């Protein structure tokens, strides 16, 4: 992604502030700290050097030590009062909201709370009101965090989305919070493959003595292989029920919407579609219609028994 | 004079406005801040007018950029100089308060920015990280076995935050599980996050009362209506709305053995009845429990309340029709 002038301005302000705090600093360290190449730091210093107050004569400009510059070290002589600017309301909301979401998942590192405290204190006007989420069950998250810390394998009792309960040994790799819900990225020895398991579907965790022996997977998130592409037409009032399906696209079609998404399991998708059944207009492919029909019949049989 | 990049012009503008004793007028900015082209001297009327409007456009863009950066730009009217507006920045108000983040804390802030992925808020969050990095200690990269991401953050959240900042009403299409679809006009007060879900709370102009909306259920664009600064945000925001939206009811659900594990974990076993286990569960929304029972496809049945059991049957009957194709 090309750098915008706003990005660069924020870094220019940041470099002066950093030098104010930390004294003279090699270009290489500034480059690492701000995530750019050392050559870019050199350009940034040159730009700063020619910026300053109206008049733009010697004494009006931001000034650096020329000898240090030749040794690839930034040494600030006069910052002209330049300082990093405070967070805009959007920036503050973006950070505080995601940090709080991570914190309320109950599985975030403790340092998240420390950062939140610092930010809340610094933001003069609290920009956002937050309620706490339900969090993860400590009986599940604590042994998992211990296993992650000690690189130990764990045995889990897990209930999948189709309500099947299994016991499996997994190598835990990472805890991930997706849309506020905690997941465990792991290698499942039972499936002999990488899995992303919902924490609130884990019923029990036991830390084993065996060490983790598989590397973390490359791709974060879900590892389900899509089996077919589903197309569902439904009334607008029903669109809310599908909106958390990963990879969903929704198009308007008169008073309806047409939702398209990749699905791995017809039974699971059919279960979701039942929730908005009165809004359904058409369901493709036939495989998904069949699953929907079967499940609807089973629900009716159960209720009319 | 070689052309000056926009970021350097903005830097000069910030410095000039922060160091002025009183204020700078547009004309002073144009003539004294490096990066703007001064009014051409001795040019014909047409050329001068074109240069004037080019400056105005550039300055308007720059004012917007400063606002988006979070820099409060103060307008100063000086009675001695008629109605010409001047500008200044108060450095103490514009500066980032010292936070002194550790390297580990900065790593966590980076994770928080990644949470938004490519949503509009992601750009804001990454810019915030850069700002926070300015005063943070430098240390070796901290790797944490932890990450977060959002898959369904709509740009509507960013649009609503901006509308709140501008005190400007918005209009959007909203579909709720109970109320169907309709257009709502709202004076937004706050965006509230709860467990990864975004809500907007505000004054609903049509219902003439405070209301809370789930941002995910907004369809299409959030449009601004009326003027900025059109209303005040109350000191006390009735977040009880969020709590009220979570009032709890109790249902009795019959489950086949070895099924409905999630309901069993949340609920209380209250007996057995001809092959079904009876479980009492607390729930907030009819639609959520109805959906959960439906998704169990016949392994669960609602015993009470009656209206919920009938709703489940109605849904199944409708699905049966569609399933026939």
Would you say residue A198 has pLDDT above 60? yes
pLDDT (0 to 100) of residue A130: 52
Would you say residue B274 has pLDDT above 50? yes
pLDDT (0 to 100) of residue A127: 47
Chain A, 107 to 166: residues with Cβ < 8 Å from chain B are 107-109, 111-112, 114-115, 118-119, 122, 124, 128-134, 148, 159, 163, 165
Would you say residue A91 has pLDDT above 90? no
Q: How far is A301 from chain B (nearest CA, A)?
A: 7
Inter-chain touch A277–B295, beta carbons under 8 Å: no
Q: Length of chain B, please?
A: 325
C-alpha A85/C-alpha A82 separation (Å) is: 9
pLDDT (0 to 100) of residue B245: 56
In angstroms, what CA-CA distances link A233 with A199, A254, A259, A279, B322? Answer: 32, 11, 6, 9, 11
State the SS3 of B29-77.
HHHHCECECCCCCCCCHHHHHHHHHHHHHHHHHHHHHHHHHCCCCEEEE
Among candidates B10, B108, B216 on the partner chain, residue whose Cβ is nearest the Cβ of A111? B108
Range(s) for CATH 2.30.30 in chain A?
138-211
- Residue A221 pLDDT grade (very low, low, confident, very high; cuts 50, 70, 90): very low
CA A208 vs. chain centroid, Å, equals 29
B95 touches chain A (CB under 8 A): yes
Where does chain B show beta strands of DSSP type E?
A: 24-25, 74-77, 85-88, 146-149, 169-176, 180-194, 197-204, 209-214, 218-225, 249-255, 268-273, 276-283, 300-304
pLDDT (0 to 100) of residue A92: 83
Would you say residue B251 has pLDDT above 60? yes
pLDDT (0 to 100) of residue A136: 63
Contact list, A118 vs chain B (CB under 8 Å): 99, 101, 105
- What architecture does CATH give domain B6-94? Orthogonal Bundle (1.10)
Bridge partners for A305 per DSSP: none
Would you say residue A223 has pLDDT above 60? no
Are B17 and B69 a contacting pair, CB within 8 Å? Answer: no
Would you say residue A111 has pLDDT above 50? yes
Are B177 and B285 a contacting pair, CB within 8 Å? Answer: yes
C-alpha B204/C-alpha B225 separation (Å) is: 13
Mean pLDDT of chain A: 84
C-alpha B75/C-alpha B63 separation (Å) is: 11
Q: Please, which residues have CB within 8 angstroms of residue B144's CB and are 6 or more apart in sequence?
A: A109, B107, B108, B111
The two three-digit tokens of residue A241, written as one number: 């029920």
Task: For domain A138-211, say whether CATH 2.30.30 is its number.
Answer: yes
Among candidates A10, A115, A133 on the partner chain, residue whose Cβ is nearest the Cβ of B195? A133
Contact list, B135 vs chain A (CB under 8 Å): 17-18, 21, 84
Say if strands B300-304 and B276-283 run parallel, antiparallel, or are unpaired: unpaired
pLDDT digits (tens, 9 = 90+) for A20-56: 989 999 999 999 999 899 999 999 999 999 999 998 8
> Average pLDDT for residues B42-48, to the nearest whole number?
86
Are A274 and A238 a contacting pair, CB within 8 Å? Answer: no
C-alpha B8/C-alpha B169 separation (Å) is: 35
A45 touches chain B (CB under 8 A): no
A23 touches chain B (CB under 8 A): no
Most confident stretch, A188-192, B11-15, B35-39: B11-15
pLDDT (0 to 100) of residue A125: 47
- Residue A126 pLDDT grade (very low, low, confident, very high; cuts 50, 70, 90): very low
pLDDT (0 to 100) of residue A206: 94
pLDDT (0 to 100) of residue A300: 92
> Average pLDDT for residues A279-302, to the nearest whole number?
91
pLDDT (0 to 100) of residue B219: 77
pLDDT digits (tens, 9 = 90+) for B293-302: 998 888 899 9
Bridge partners for A63 per DSSP: A78
In angstroms, what CA-CA distances link A136 with A194, A224, B282? Answer: 22, 23, 18
pLDDT digits (tens, 9 = 90+) for A234-276: 887 777 777 767 677 888 888 888 999 888 778 888 888 998 8
Mean pLDDT of chain B: 85
pLDDT (0 to 100) of residue B153: 60
Identify the CA nearest to B250 among candidates B284, B287, B298: B284
Identify the CA nearest to B13 among candidates B38, B32, B41: B32
Would you say residue A174 has pLDDT above 80? yes
Sign of CA dihedral B17, B22, B25, B29: negative
Instruction: Please give the interface size between A and B, counted as residue pairs whose CB atoms are below 8 Å apart.
Output: 401
Q: Give the rounded percent of residues in chain B with a pLDDT score beyond 90.
A: 32
C-alpha A184/C-alpha A172 separation (Å) is: 7
CATH number for the domain formed by residue range(s) A5-78: 1.10.10
pLDDT digits (tens, 9 = 90+) for B206-225: 889 888 888 878 877 899 99
For A186, list phi and psi in degrees, rounded to 5. Answer: -155, 170
Q: How far is A263 from chain B (nearest CA, A)?
A: 16
Chain B, 43 to 62: residues with Cβ < 8 Å from chain A are none
B6 touches chain A (CB under 8 A): yes
* CATH class entry, domain A228-304: alpha beta
Q: Give the rounded percent of residues in chain A with a pLDDT score beyond 70.
A: 90
Would you say residue A205 has pLDDT above 90? yes
User: Reduced to 3 DSSP states, what percent helix, strand and coil does chain B have, rounded to the nearest 5?
Assistant: 40, 25, 30
Range(s) for CATH 2.30.30 in chain B?
155-244
Fill in the DSSP letter of residue A85: B
- Residue A15 pLDDT grade (very low, low, confident, very high; cuts 50, 70, 90): very high
> Average pLDDT for residues B232-255, to the nearest whole number?
77
C-alpha B140/C-alpha B121 separation (Å) is: 27
pLDDT (0 to 100) of residue B115: 82
Task: For domain B249-324, say whether CATH 3.30.70 is its number.
Answer: yes
Inter-chain touch B148–A273, beta carbons under 8 Å: no
Candidates A119, A236, A274, partner chain B, best to mutate (most B CBs within 10 A) = A274
B8 three-state secondary structure? helix
Whole-angstrom Cα Rg for chain A: 27
pLDDT (0 to 100) of residue A193: 83
> Average pLDDT for residues A160-174, to the nearest whole number?
86
Range(s) for CATH 3.30.70 in chain B?
249-324
> Average pLDDT for residues B288-297, to the nearest whole number?
88
Are B5 and A47 a contacting pair, CB within 8 Å? Answer: yes
pLDDT (0 to 100) of residue A13: 95
Exposure of A266 in the CB half-sphere (CA atoms within 13 A): 17
* CATH class entry, domain B155-244: mainly beta
C-alpha A242/C-alpha A254 separation (Å) is: 18
């Amino acid at each position: 992604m090309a750098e915008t002038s706003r990005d660069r301005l924020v870094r220019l302000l940041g470099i002066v502030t950093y030098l104010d705090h930390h004294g003279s600093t090699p270009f290489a360290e500034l480059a690492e700290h701000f995530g750019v190449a050392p050559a870019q730091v050199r350009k940034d210093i040159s730009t700063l050097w020619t910026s300053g107050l109206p008049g733009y004569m010697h004494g009006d400009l931001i000034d650096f030590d020329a000898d240090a510059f030749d040794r690839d070290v930034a040494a600030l002589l006069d910052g002209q009062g330049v300082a990093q600017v405070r967070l805009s309301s959007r920036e503050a909301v973006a950070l505080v909201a995601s940090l709080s979401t991570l914190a309320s998942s109950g599985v975030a590192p403790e340092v998240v709370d420390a950062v939140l405290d610092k930010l809340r204190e610094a933001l003069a006007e609290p920009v956002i009101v937050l309620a706490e989420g339900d969090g993860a069950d400590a009986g599940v998250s604590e042994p998992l965090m211990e296993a992650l810390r000690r690189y130990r394998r764990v045995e889990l009792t897990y209930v999948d989305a189709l309500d099947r309960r299994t016991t499996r040994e997994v190598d835990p790799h990472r805890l991930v919070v997706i849309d506020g819900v905690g997941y465990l990225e792991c290698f499942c020895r039972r499936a002999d493959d990488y899995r992303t398991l919902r924490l609130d579907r884990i019923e029990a965790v036991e830390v084993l003595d065996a060490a983790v022996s598989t590397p973390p997977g490359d791709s974060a998130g879900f590892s389900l292989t899509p089996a077919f592409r589903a197309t569902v037409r439904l009334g607008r009032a029903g669109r809310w029920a599908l909106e958390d399906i990963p990879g969903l696209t929704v198009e308007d079609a008169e008073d309806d919407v047409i939702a398209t998404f990749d699905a791995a399991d017809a039974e699971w998708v059919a279960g979701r579609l039942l929730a908005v059944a009165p809004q359904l207009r058409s369901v493709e492919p036939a495989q998904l219609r069949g699953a929907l029909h079967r499940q609807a019949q089973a629900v009716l049989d159960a209720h009319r028994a | 004079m070689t052309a000056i990049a926009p970021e350097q012009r903005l830097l000069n503008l910030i410095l000039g406005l922060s160091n002025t004793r009183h204020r700078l007028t547009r004309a002073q900015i144009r003539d004294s801040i490096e990066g703007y082209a001064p009014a051409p001297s001795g040019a014909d009327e047409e050329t001068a007018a074109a240069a004037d409007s080019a400056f105005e456009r550039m300055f308007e863009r720059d004012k917007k950029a400063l606002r988006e950066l979070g820099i409060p730009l103060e307008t100063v009217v000086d009675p001695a100089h008629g109605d010409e507006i001047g500008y200044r920045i108060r450095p103490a108000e514009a500066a980032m308060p010292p936070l002194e983040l550790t390297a580990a804390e900065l790593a966590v802030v980076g994770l928080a920015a990644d949470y938004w992925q490519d949503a509009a808020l992601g750009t804001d969050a990454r810019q915030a990280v850069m700002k926070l990095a300015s005063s943070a200690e430098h240390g070796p990269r901290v790797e944490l076995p932890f990450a977060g991401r959002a898959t369904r953050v709509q740009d509507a959240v960013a649009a609503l935050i901006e509308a709140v900042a501008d005190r400007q009403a918005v209009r959007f299409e909203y579909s709720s599980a109970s109320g169907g679809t309709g257009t709502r006009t709202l004076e937004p007060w706050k965006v509230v996050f709860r467990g990864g879900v975004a809500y907007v709370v505000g004054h609903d102009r049509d219902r003439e009362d405070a209301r809370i909306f789930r941002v995910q259920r907004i369809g299409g664009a959030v449009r601004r209506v009326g003027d900025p600064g059109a209303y005040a945000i109350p000191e006390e925001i009735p977040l009880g709305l969020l709590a009220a939206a979570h009032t709890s009811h109790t249902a009795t659900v019959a489950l086949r053995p070895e099924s409905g594990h999630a309901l069993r974990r949340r609920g209380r076993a209250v007996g057995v009845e001809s092959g079904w286990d009876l479980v009492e569960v607390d729930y907030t929304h009819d639609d959520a429990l109805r959906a959960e029972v439906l998704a169990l496809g016949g392994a669960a049945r609602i015993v009470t309340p009656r209206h919920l059991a009938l709703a489940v049957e109605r849904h199944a009957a409708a699905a049966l029709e569609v399933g026939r194709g």
